[in-house]
Each structure stands twice: as structure tokens, then as C-alpha cells.
Amino acid sequence: MATYKSSGKLDLESPAVEFIEHLTRKKNHVSFFFAAVDLRFEVEPKDSETRAVTMSIHGNLTESYKTIKATFTVAPGEDMTATCLAYTFEFEKISHNIEDKKIVESLLTFISLSDVSYKRKFKHNSIDTGYPAEKYFKDFVNAFENDDEVEMGGVDWQKRTFTVSFISAPSMMENFETIKVTITIIPKKEGSRVKWSIEVEKIDDDTQEPDSFLFIACSIRETIQSKFGN
């Protein structure tokens, strides 16, 4: 049984201490472009003195390994605002099936997007709006009903939720058999929040790469934003 390591550095935007608190606020995290059953990250208790965080990695993609752990050590950069993230992945292999690169890229992308989200207060799957939830839900439904690129379904006026399936969006459908988005409008004290989740069915096993999924995620966000004025 072979054990080996993969190390490197990643430049982030956030201050070191704040980013560690943000990263470890939850114990369990899911990859942005794999389902939880395929790849998930579990945060172990952090070392507050060294600012080191260890994450154990689980899921179907890890079946060829006895254990996979990633350790991150964060230190402020020279200007005391940027963050340098030193990482080490430790793989204990059972077989020779290689998923190392996919696993490393998935977790590093998760870290990078978490950093951007925290620094810019940006949420990848929600948008806050000043519109009342009831009126906004009605306007949203009407806007998507008139969109030739999607099919609507599952409209629930009480829960203010519905689904849209993309049927005529060549740039988005190139690598995916189906793309379905569930959208929910949640009332807030002032205005409302639009939240959505994405389900995709890939054409083959080679298409579920970070760039493909992130392109879909950004395109869907832009599509939802475009409905704001409708």
C-alpha cells in the first residue's frame, strides 16, 4: 500500500486569521462540481497556534484510497493583507486507479471560491433583492414562462418555488444532457432572497470538469439576474 504527498501554494485574497475562521465555520463541505456522494470534505479540529487546518476527503472518488487528508497552513503575505495558503495532500492508496488530480483540483477550487465569496461577500447561489417575495415570485414565473430556452415545472405558489429545465442553450448544453435549476423566493424583513440549486446530467464521464461546471453556474446566475427587471 503506497503513501505519497502532493504539496504546493495558493495565493488568496483574504486575511489569514479571518479566512481560517470562515473556512472552519462548518465541519462538512461539498465540492462545487461533484455531488456529496462523490466528493466531500470534512474539517478536523484546527490548530489555532499554527493556523493549520486538516480536511479528510471522502466519497465515491476516493474508493481507491484508504485515506486522503489535506493540510492547509495559512500565513499573511508581505503586505499583511494577502494570504498565502500552503497545502499538502497525503494519499494512502489501495489500488492504482488515479483520481489524484481531480481530487486536488476540486478541493483547491473550493478553497479559491470560498476565499472569493468571503472577501467579496458574494454568494454563488443566491441574490438579495428589495422586491417583496410574493410580487417578485409572480414576476419571476412570468419571465421564465416567456423564455424559449427553458421549460418550467413544479410551480408552488405557497412555497414560492419552481424549476426550470434548459432545452435550447447551446453554449450551456454542449457537455450536459440535462440542466435543471430549482428556484425559491424567500421573504426577508426588507425585500426577498432568490436562492437556487442546480442539477446536471453529464453526457459522459469526461465532461464533469471544473471549468464546465463553473461556466454553467455563472451562466445560470447571469440568466437569473437578467430576469430582475422583468
pLDDT in tens, the chain (230 residues): 677 888 888 887 777 667 777 888 888 988 876 778 888 999 988 766 767 889 999 998 888 888 999 998 876 555 545 577 888 999 888 765 555 777 888 888 888 777 766 665 555 577 787 778 888 888 888 888 888 888 888 889 999 998 888 877 666 666 677 788 888 889 988 888 888 877 777 665 554 454 566 566 677 777 777 776 54
For position 216, what pLDDT does the model report? 67
Q: Which class is domain 2-114?
A: alpha beta
CB atoms within 10 A of CB 136: 21
User: Per-residue b/e over 203-212, b at no fewer than 16 CB within 10 Å?
Assistant: eeeeebebeb
Domain ranges of the chain: 2-114, 122-227
pTM over 0.85, yes/no: no
Dist. CA 106–CA 30, nearest whole Å: 10
CATH for 122-227 is 3.30.530.20
For position 41, what pLDDT does the model report? 93
For position 18, what pLDDT does the model report? 76
